[in-house]
Amino acid sequence: MVPVGVVLGIAMDDIAVGEFGVIAIDGVFTVPKVSAAEINQGETLTWVVASGSFDNNAATAVTDDITGATAFADEDAGSSVTSLAVKFTDVPCTVKSYVNHGSGPKSCRARISQMGQVRYLYRR
């Protein structure tokens, strides 16, 4: 999971810190889920930075967590499930206490910093 400005994306390959890589910000991907969360198909999600997983939309966002229509559940996922299919929409999200840098193109090259944040964004 990589935040690209105010849009969530998935690194298409391993990207070393400080290197460039391709990030998909539209499509369906299987991603980690908070194990206790009950999630319904179509529900918007919260990306929990601390656990590196998605929670349901009732979760209380804390600093750097990401919420909104940028990702929604593509399937139901019960509390015993640790991953789920998520549709990334290229729709801007809300990042708790994060500076809004704007959205990027549907695929882009990004330089990843130590924190996993996008440092530079280039059009392909």
Rounded to an integer, what distance in angstroms lies between the CA atom of residue 90 and that of residue 42? Answer: 16
Alpha-carbon gap, residue 70 to 106, rounded angstroms: 13
Its pTM stands at 0.71
Beta bridge partners of 31: 84
- pLDDT at site 95: 63
Instruction: Note the pLDDT of residue 118.
Output: 38
* Per-residue model confidence (pLDDT) at position 18: 75
Give pLDDT, residue 96. 59
Q: Is 27 exposed, middle or buried (0-12, 13-18, 19+ CB in 10 A)?
A: middle
Give the residue ranges of the chain where pLDDT is below 70.
Answer: 5-6, 92-124
pLDDT computed for residue 13 by the predictor: 81
What's the pLDDT at 124?
31
